[in-house]
Amino acid sequence: MRLRSIKLQNYRRYKSAELELPDGMISIVGSNGSGKSTLLEAFAWAMFGNQAEIVRTGKESVKRQGASPTDPCSVRIEFDYEDTQYTIERTMKGKNHTVNAEMHAGGSLMAKGTDEVSEALVKLFGMDHKSFFISVFARQTELNALTSQPKGDRKKMVIRLLDIESLDEAIRRIREDRSEAEESIETARSELNGPEGRPVTDSLAAEIGSLSQTEKELVKRKAALESEMKKTESVMAKLKKELPALEKMAKEKNALESAIKSARRESALLDEQKRELAADLAHLSSKEEEFKALEAKAPKYAKDLSEILGKKKETQTEKESVRSEMSELKAGIRQLEKEIKEINIHIDEITEIGPDSDCPTCKRRLGETYESLLAEYSAQTDERKAKITAANSSFSELEDRLKDCDARAAALEKRESGLRDKISKFEKLKFEAEQVSKLRKKMTDLEGRAARAVAELQTLEKKNVSISFDEKAYEQSKKALDEINAELRTADRNIMAINTELARAEERKTALSEKLDRLRQMEARFSEQRAKAELLTDLEQVMGDFRTHLISRIRPALMASSSELLGVLTEGRYNELILDEDYEISLRDQGEQHRLERFSGGEKDLANLCLRLAISEIIATRHGTNSFDLIVLDEIFGSQDANRKRTLLSTLNGLSNRFKQIFLITHVEDVKELMGNVILVTENPDGTSTASVVQ
């Protein structure tokens, strides 16, 4: 494989970059974080997309930060493989970061779609993306690990790099499949065999046969019941034919008897009403005579009552007038008594202060007016007392008048009460006299109804006697029909019960048949699973033996390939690299074997590099590819001094016969003079990166 060119657009730090890649040793130089590894990561992304080994963070970080949502993110690569030129372009567009890819071979479309392109590459190279990266990319962390890992972990790391783990995964899956098959066998065995070891299928077949026999017996019983029902139904049909006429006569007879009872009750009721009405008439007839005797006096009662009511009104008016006058007199007396009290107060005041004092009213000296003033007050007092005496006399006269009014009112009340009693008695007699007329009319009506009721009763009794109806025969027919209906219902219930038993038997037989079919199918699967388990056991043994054989061949193959590379890079000084069972490295120097710790740092790095390259070569060979003719060495210098870097670089030139392109990623600037081709990666002020071939 030879990488011809790579073109980036809005990929991570690169806004735009396009490189034509030469053959030989190519150094990708730049400061840490400038985007050196991103160039070859873009190469891997174009081929296999968003794999965890490629995209170190989420796919959202693939597109350059600062690019607009409408700007596409894309990587386009051209490479040669086995005399054919291939072009792959992978793009990411839109807010959802939708990825698409196309692959062309010799100018023709080979695959379209992100998964389709990756699958085409797997088919082309004969390996998946993990094996491809182990074959092509070698990192400083892997070289350091080959030296610094403990014995057991170093062997595990080599096995991991060689992807022996996929073989272990296959063996694990074989074991899982075998366990699953064995579990299925145990499950089937527990279902196929009963508690005593007898096959369940035999028990099911016997039970199905028993159910079939039961069904036959039930069908026979059902047929016998249906035959009996037909005979009974024939008898019932005959009874039903005869019974309607009897029922009609019975209904007519019952209706007549009911009508006779009703007519008798009505006749008796009418007779009772006549007797009650005759008693009422006898009682009210005397009242009618009494009413006629009082009827002439009724107008005088009304006239006398009217006169009494008029006199009562006059008396009441007079009483109210007397009470009013009495109230006025009482008010006048109270006023006079008040005035006398006030005059007496003035008299007491003047008497107390004497004639030599000032008048309390006018404030002038009393003097000669003292006696005349007292005389005047005394005269006023006497005048008012005389008025009080006259008023009391008038009040007494009014009291006498009021008593007279009360006496007259009581007499009128008594006369009114007597008249009202007479009028009430007259009104009652009048009502009772009026009732006599109504009762006589009602009696005439009752007598007519009673006569008609008697006539109707006689007619009904004659008709009832004329009906010829044998009630005993009718009751026997009804009883026979009820018994037949009961027999038919019992037979119907028995048939329903048989049908239920048949349905249950059929349902049970169907369930057992289905279970039997399932168990027989399980028997077939049991044989298949047993054969599968045996096959998987054999396959597990073969795969385990193959793994042991493969691991036993890896170490010699690695030693041979590593030794060949070491001899080329050291120009024959060291021709043999030896790996023990823990993959500890030893070198043969001048015929003697020495552990790697004896040698210088540069020689150690060179030995580890040869081992790492041998691993890549074996993986490529194992997948049917002799070599990719391309290797990427990412930061393999570590913290080596300048002399060791120069030594390692000069020895790497010896790989040019084996690899058409060797990409060396490094942040060390002083290696540029030692390289034939240099790609310089620089970081711009805006945070983007640019890359260009400078030598």
Residue 111 is predicted with a pLDDT of: 94
Share of the chain above pLDDT 70, in %: 79
C-alpha R_g of the chain: 70
Residue 410 has pLDDT above 80, yes or no: yes
DSSP state of 358: B
Residue 58 has pLDDT above 60, yes or no: yes
**Cα gap 327→308, rounded to integer Å:** 28
**Domain extents for the chain?**
2-161+570-693, 295-457
Residue 75 has pLDDT above 80, yes or no: yes
Residue 26 is predicted with a pLDDT of: 87
**Cα gap 13→587, rounded to integer Å:** 44
Residue 669 is predicted with a pLDDT of: 65
Closest C-alpha among 139, 118, 105, 124 to residue 44: 118
Q: 407 to each of 311, 478, 506, how far by Cα in Å? A: 13, 93, 116
556-571 b/e with 16+ CB inside 10 Å = b?
ebbbebbbbbbbbbbe
| pLDDT tens per residue, range 104-121 | 999 899 999 999 999 998
Contact between residue 614 and residue 583 where contact means Cβ atoms under 8 Å apart: no
Across the range 323-333, mean pLDDT stands at: 90
Residue 337 identity: E
3-state secondary structure of 22: coil
Contact between residue 73 and residue 93 where contact means Cβ atoms under 8 Å apart: yes
Residue 160 is predicted with a pLDDT of: 66
pLDDT, greater one: 457 or 189: 457
Closest C-alpha among 64, 10, 18, 12 to residue 37: 12
| CB neighbour list of residue 171: distance below 8 Å, 6 or more residues apart | 540, 543, 544, 547
What residue spans of 89-199 are helical by DSSP H?
A: 114-125, 129-136, 140-148, 151-161, 165-192
Residue 117 is predicted with a pLDDT of: 93
Contact between residue 480 and residue 245 where contact means Cβ atoms under 8 Å apart: no
Residue 637 has pLDDT above 70, yes or no: no
Closest C-alpha among 424, 433, 438, 440 to residue 287: 433
Residue 246 is predicted with a pLDDT of: 64
Distance of CA 284 to the CA centre of its chain: 87
Which DSSP string do the residues of 421-437 spell out, in sequence order? HHHHHHHHHHHHHHHHH
Q: What confidence tier does 672 reach under pLDDT thresholds 50, 70, 90?
A: low
| pLDDT tens per residue, range 248-293 | 766 777 777 788 888 888 888 878 877 887 777 777 666 666 666 6
Contacts by residues 593-599 (CB-CB < 8 Å, ≥ 24 positions apart): 596/147
Distance of CA 520 to the CA centre of its chain: 44
Closest C-alpha among 539, 439, 619 to residue 173: 539
Share of the chain above pLDDT 90, in %: 11
Length of the chain: 695
The continuous run of DSSP H or E covering 643 comes out as helix 642-652
Angle at 130 between CA 126 and CA 134, to 5 degrees: 95
Q: Would 2-161+570-693 and 295-457 be classified into the same CATH topology?
A: no
Residue 142 is predicted with a pLDDT of: 61
Residue 67 has pLDDT above 90, yes or no: no
Residue 6 is predicted with a pLDDT of: 94
Across the range 66-73, mean pLDDT stands at: 87
Average pLDDT value over all residues in the chain: 79
Contact between residue 89 and residue 76 where contact means Cβ atoms under 8 Å apart: yes
Residue 19 is predicted with a pLDDT of: 93
Contact between residue 239 and residue 484 where contact means Cβ atoms under 8 Å apart: yes
3-state secondary structure of 207: helix
DSSP state of 17: E
The CATH architecture that domain 2-161+570-693 belongs to is 3-Layer(aba) Sandwich (3.40)
Pairing, β 2-11 against β 14-20:
antiparallel
**Cα gap 386→374, rounded to integer Å:** 19
Place of tokens 């219902």: 489
**Cα gap 246→538, rounded to integer Å:** 95
Residue 470 is predicted with a pLDDT of: 62
Selecting from 1.10.287.510, 1.10.275.10, 3.30.70.20, 1.10.3720.10, what CATH number does the domain 295-457 have?
A: 1.10.287.510
**Cα gap 168→163, rounded to integer Å:** 9
Residue 17 is predicted with a pLDDT of: 93
Residue 591 has pLDDT above 70, yes or no: yes
Across the range 613-637, mean pLDDT stands at: 70
Distance of CA 156 to the CA centre of its chain: 53
| CB neighbour list of residue 91: distance below 8 Å, 6 or more residues apart | 72, 73, 74, 99, 100, 101
pLDDT, greater one: 144 or 463: 463
3-state secondary structure of 364: coil
Q: Which two tokens stand for residue 202?
A: 């035999």
Across the range 282-308, mean pLDDT stands at: 74
Which DSSP string do the residues of 517-546 spell out, in sequence order? HHHHHHHHHHHHHHHHHHHHHHHHHHHHHH
Closest C-alpha among 80, 60, 63, 61 to residue 72: 63
Contacts by residues 464-472 (CB-CB < 8 Å, ≥ 24 positions apart): 464/253, 464/256, 464/257, 464/260, 467/249, 467/252, 467/253, 467/256, 469/246, 469/249, 469/250, 469/252, 469/253, 471/250, 471/253
Residue 56 identity: R
Distance of CA 455 to the CA centre of its chain: 82
Residue 56 is predicted with a pLDDT of: 60
Q: What confidence tier does 600 reach under pLDDT thresholds 50, 70, 90?
A: confident
Residue 219 is predicted with a pLDDT of: 84
Residue 225 is predicted with a pLDDT of: 77
Residue 201 is predicted with a pLDDT of: 67
What are phi and psi for residue 101, nearest 5 degrees? -155, 150
Residue 85 is predicted with a pLDDT of: 94
Residue 140 identity: Q
| pLDDT tens per residue, range 143-197 | 655 556 666 666 776 776 666 767 777 888 888 888 887 777 666 666 666 656 5
**Cα gap 645→383, rounded to integer Å:** 161
| pLDDT tens per residue, range 376-407 | 888 989 998 999 899 889 889 888 888 988 88
pLDDT, greater one: 599 or 619: 599
Contact between residue 315 and residue 416 where contact means Cβ atoms under 8 Å apart: no
Q: Which two tokens stand for residue 91?
A: 């793009």
Closest C-alpha among 37, 91, 92 to residue 60: 92
Closest C-alpha among 11, 19, 106 to residue 49: 11
